A and B are shown apart, each in its own frame.
Chain A
Amino acid sequence: MEPERDGERIEITISSRFENIELVQVIAEHLCENAGLDEDGSHWIGMAVREAVANAIKHGNKLDVRKKVNATFQLHDHELEIRISDEGAGFDPGSIGDPLNPQNLMKTSGRGIFYMKTFMDQVQYSFVPGGGTSLVMTKNLAKGSGLASSKV
């Protein structure tokens, strides 16, 4: 990572429309590439962001376009911290079954959080009563490409 990028912070707020997901994903990918991560590694982080924003729009804000999704990206000492917040009622991430469980393998949903956890180092949800859901994901960009295969 170039030293002058340390501490860089980018923030974007979108309305809850699926077509806005790509805006946030592209910011994540460009930020990673600018920080020196290779194309594949940047892609997988972008994918984690895509899944997080999609969940915030669909499950958090329930597609209510009046409700916003906020994304912040902060680079600090080779670590990228991504925070995705919505204005929904919150949910229990523990209620989502393990998609690798044979019973869940053929389910048509429930893989978004799994992909986030696969591509990022840490994924943590927090809930503020009446204040929506906040998801914080971190990735050490100095570790390399971040390819999914490196984690399986």
Chain B
Amino acid sequence: MKATARTVDGVEVIKLDGKITIGSGDQQLREIITSALNGGKNKILLDMSGVTTIDSSGIGELVGSYTTVTNRGGKLKLLHLPAKLNELLHVTQLITVFEVYENEQEAVKSF
């Protein structure tokens, strides 16, 4: 998985590309979030548009990331959910946990 970060109005927008699956991307996601928090960035918007595959481990890491950021006084939100990821969050009712946006400007303003 590849991650590209940029800051927009104080919000760390991190675009994820590739797989977030067991043994490939799941631990990487944790490291990306930890690194952002350690750098004092706790308003995090994950752009998921480039995520090609995700499994239950990847979903678990998303949940863990949300909890970590929240516990550190920050917010983690999602942008541009691919249809299949949206489906996976729906069936597990996690869609009720995450704030999801389709428009980056709108998402950034919401923090």
Contacts and interface: CB of A to CB of B under 8 A. Distances in A.
Q: Do A and B bind each other?
A: yes
A103 interface: no
Given A47-B55, A106-B97, A149 B23 contact: no
Interface of A: 18-19, 21, 40, 43, 47, 50-51, 54, 58, 99-100, 105-109, 111-112, 114-115, 118, 147-149, 151-152
The B interface is mostly helix, strand or loop, or mixed, namely helix
A151 B93 CA distance: 13
A109 B92 contact: no
A109 B60 contact: yes
A152 B63 contact: no
A132 B61 CA distance: 28
Given A19-B24, A50-B55, A112-B56, A105 B97 contact: yes
Which of B64, B92, B94 gathers most chain A CB within 10 Å? B92
Contacts of A115: 56, 88, 91-92
Contacts of A106: 63, 66-67, 97
B94 A105 contact: yes
A148 B91 contact: yes
B36 interface: no
B23 A114 contact: no
Contacts of A105: 92-94, 97
By Cβ-Cβ distance, the 8 closest A-B pairs, closest first, are A18-B23, A108-B60, A111-B56, A108-B64, A112-B56, A148-B87, A54-B22, A148-B91
21 contacts: A18-B21, A18-B24, A21-B21, A43-B84, A47-B55, A50-B21, A51-B55, A58-B22, A107-B63, A108-B60, A108-B61, A108-B63, A108-B64, A109-B60, A111-B92, A112-B56, A147-B87, A148-B87, A148-B88, A149-B91, A152-B91
Interface of B: 21-24, 55-57, 59-61, 63-64, 66-67, 84, 87-88, 90-94, 97
Contacts of A50: 21, 55
B86 to A, nearest CB: 10
Given A18-B24, A149-B87, 11 more contacts: A21-B23, A51-B56, A54-B22, A54-B57, A100-B93, A106-B66, A108-B67, A111-B92, A115-B92, A148-B87, A149-B90
A59 to B, nearest CB: 11
